[in-house]
Amino acid sequence: MLKEGSLSSVTPVEDKFVDVPIIRLGEKYIQNPISKIHSLRPNIIIFTPELRNFTFWLLLILKPFYRYKLVSWTHGINNKDFVTGKIGFSSKFRLLMMKLSDLVIIYSTERAKSLRKLISKKIITANNTLDTHTLDEVYTKFSKQGMKSVKEELKWAQDSVNFIYVGRLIAEKEIDKNILLFKELSKKIESPCYFHIIGEGPEREKLESQAGSESSNILFHGKIVDPNIVGKLLYASDLHLHLGYNGLAVVHSLCFETPIVTQAPNNLHGPFHSPEFEYLNKKNSIIRKHTDLADQVLFTLKNENVLNNLKKEARKTYLEDCMAEHFLNTFITLNEEFN
């Protein structure tokens, strides 16, 4: 598996990761894997097709001499092109790299279907996920402890309504829309109401300013890397406000039974969700046009059975679709694809 700084030969019994020298060319770079390929003699090399990494072309040149299979592991075309159906230059270039590969591993089922219309190449899926073993350990701990006790530890009122956002504070995530939605909701919710923002990024100062007079109810926790802390905040929260494009935070939320509130993609204006959006559906999350979101959230919070069903379905989706074993099995059995 060749990525920035490492190479792995995938066999049925083991994965080997070794450092590969990198030559920087401004924002672009090339790796020199020749000595590693010569010594390891891999059957398969997995490569992420990126415009800024020129190593792919070197691997194509070496391929006839070492007779390995070259596998592209990728999102496919970029998020915006996938939603709009308009293929830009960068996506066309990635498609060329995929066409020159022996096989393509794609992050999601829907993108695989879309990609099959663009290239005549064998495509398999490895749905993107996180370290679900660690996430599950954290979830199990808090599930056994119980919501009441977790809220007590956090010093949250038992009758409080808590929303959360987990992710980078960047413009593309449209966190300002989350704050606007929270402000609208907090005017209509009688219980104490809070919005916990987990993450760091260049938009923080602007978002703190947007919080304004409600800053005591909109809490910026900063970047948190400890899965126990992030897990506790997610587990104790009622809903995850994520109106911008969704990525791996989806897996986090589904694990901790925290339904996501998000917007359905719009072909012209986005949000241009990452492949993980495919884990979401109307049974495990609230997906609406922006104008309908507040009413649906209020309805969900007022009807405990509706919220509990969303939480149960979120956990069910996580267990059935998001587990790391599903993802890893694609790579463990990769040799079989060429038999």
> What is the per-residue DSSP string for 167-203?
S---GGG-HHHHHHHHHHHHTT--S-EEEEEE---TT
DSSP 97-134: HHHTSSEEEES-HHHHHHHHTT--S-EEE------HHH
Cα–Cα distance, 104 to 94 (Å, whole number): 11
Cα–Cα distance, 319 to 325 (Å, whole number): 10
Which of 108-112, 156-160, 190-194 has the least mean pLDDT?
A: 108-112
pLDDT at 17 over 70: no
**Structure confidence by residue, pLDDT tens digits, 23-74:** 888 888 888 889 989 998 999 999 888 888 899 999 999 999 999 999 999 8
pTM score over 0.95: no
Where residue 6 falls among pLDDT bands split at 50, 70, 90? very low
**Structure confidence by residue, pLDDT tens digits, 153-169:** 999 999 999 999 999 99
| CATH superfamily, with its number, for domain 132-322 | Glycogen Phosphorylase B; (3.40.50.2000)
For residue 105 the two structure tokens come to 């591993």
pLDDT, mean of residues 221-233: 96
Cβ atoms within 10 A of the Cβ of 135, count? 24
* Residue bearing tokens 């956990």: 315
- Residue 265 is classified by DSSP as P
For residue 91 the two structure tokens come to 């996506």
Among candidate residues 33, 32, 69, 26, the one with its CA nearest the CA of residue 51:
26
Domain ranges of the chain: 6-129+324-338, 132-322
- Residue 333 is classified by DSSP as T
Contact 245, 172 (CB under 8 A): yes
- Counted residue by residue, the chain has a size of 339
Rounded to an integer, what is the distance from CA 137 to the centroid of its chain?
Answer: 20
Residues β-bridged to residue 162: 194
Q: Are strands 15-19 and 6-10 parallel, antiparallel or unpaired?
A: antiparallel
